[in-house]
Amino acid sequence: MPSDSKHDAWSMGDSYEHYMGRWSRKIASSYLEWLKPPAQVDWLEIGCGTGALTNAILAKADPKSVLATDQSEDFVKHAQKEIADPRAAFGQAQAQNLPAADASVDVVTSALVLNFVPERPAALHEIQRVLRPGGLLSFYVWDYPGGGMGFIDAFWTAAAEVDPAATELNESARFPFCTRSGLRDLCSEAGLAQPEVAPIEIATVFPDFEAFWKPFTMGAGPAPGFCGSLDPDHRDALKAALARQLDSGGEISLPARAWAARANI
Ligand SMILES: C[S@@+](CC[C@H](N)C(=O)[O-])C[C@H]1O[C@@H](n2cnc3c(N)ncnc32)[C@H](O)[C@@H]1O
């Protein structure tokens, strides 16, 4: 199953914020509580998106500096515009080719990104290149295979009813390594001894079904990218299938769980 899909739409920061960024902010905060990083050190972030984790690092981790990078020019511009902090710098970069010298940062982190990187082992080697000896490598990904991203799971279940081709676009099928053992295996393949892997959980709460549905129509991210590719009849059928599945007259609350890994080099 390929890591990338033509529906992985990484642009339109405001739409992404509505779809995922607001939950990214919530989990970034819980992640840092788990990570307990050292203060006054140099950070590099891979795949900063609209800046959810960048913001949390600046607010909670007392960094000396943060270089936030993403492959998407659009997202980098969005994050740069939102975050005015002299400790933060931004750059457009691929995970496999980081804009930092050898042994130049103390912590490299990445939020909800590594599953979208096709060359994951290369990225983990690149991270180790830029880390200082003893530096901290840490990342987290949604627990797609364990049904740990409830609202996305619900979307793809309904999408498969309307278009069987959606089955293979479901992140749970695309990213089978997003499990506790998958993260451990990935880390050991990259030569990282004894990584710690832990679940981080939040709740995603929507006041009603219309609020649940709207972000899927806004274009940013894999599920909204797929939704936007449907003709109006199929989109209506998908919405109806999703409403039937959730069977909600009011608030919709679904769990979201990520697996986080950390290892010192
Ligand atoms: C689900 S978003 C996560 C964004 C942000 N970290 C957050 O927590 O909301 C995935 C991000 O990974 C970026 N991305 C995907 N593949 C990448 C790669 N090979 N190198 C760098 N960034 C990548 C995308 O542009 C997008 O911003």
Inform me whether the pLDDT recorded for 139 exceeds 70.
yes
Centroid of ligand 1 to alpha carbon of 230 (angstroms): 24
- Pocket probe mutation, ligand 1, options 10, 16, 45, max atoms within 8 Å of Cβ: 10
CB 151 within 8 A of CB 23: no
Inform me whether the pLDDT recorded for 201 exceeds 90.
yes
Inform me whether the pLDDT recorded for 2 exceeds 80.
no
Inform me whether the pLDDT recorded for 222 exceeds 90.
no
Query: Could you tell me if residue 251 is inside a domain?
Result: no
State the CB neighbour count (10 A cutoff) for residue 136.
20
pLDDT digits (tens, 9 = 90+) for 33-64: 999 999 999 999 999 999 999 999 999 999 99
Residue 1's pLDDT band, with cuts at 50, 70 and 90, is very low
Query: Could you tell me if residue 38 is inside a domain?
Result: yes
Query: Could you tell me if residue 112 is inside a domain?
Result: yes
The torsion angles phi and psi of 87, rounded to 5 degrees, stand at -80, -10
- Pocket probe mutation, ligand 1, options 113, 120, 130, 151, max atoms within 8 Å of Cβ: 113
Tally of structural domains, the chain = 1
Q: What is the mean pLDDT of the chain?
A: 93
User: How confident is the model at residue 17, as a pLDDT?
Assistant: 81
Residues of the domain holding 100? 13-147+174-203+257-264
CB 146 within 8 A of CB 257: yes
- Residue among 167, 140, 120, 126 nearest 3 (CA): 120
CB burial class (10 A; 0-12, 13-18, 19+) of residue 20?
A: buried
Q: Is 10 in the pocket of ligand 1 (CB under 6 A)?
A: yes
Helices within 143-252 (DSSP H only) = 150-162, 171-174, 180-189, 209-213, 222-229, 232-246
Q: What CA–CA distance (Å, rounded) separates 189 from 192?
A: 7
Residue with tokens 């295996």: 185
Query: Could you tell me if residue 248 is inside a domain?
Result: no
CATH of the domain at 106: 3.40.50.150
Helices within 163-221 (DSSP H only) = 171-174, 180-189, 209-213
Query: Could you tell me if residue 210 is inside a domain?
Result: no
Query: Could you tell me if residue 99 is inside a domain?
Result: yes
Query: Could you tell me if residue 246 is inside a domain?
Result: no
Query: Could you tell me if residue 169 is inside a domain?
Result: no
- Pocket probe mutation, ligand 1, options 15, 70, 202, max atoms within 8 Å of Cβ: 70
Inform me whether the pLDDT recorded for 105 exceeds 60.
yes
User: How confident is the model at residue 49, as a pLDDT?
Assistant: 94
Q: Is 136 in the pocket of ligand 1 (CB under 6 A)?
A: no
Q: Is 90 in the pocket of ligand 1 (CB under 6 A)?
A: no
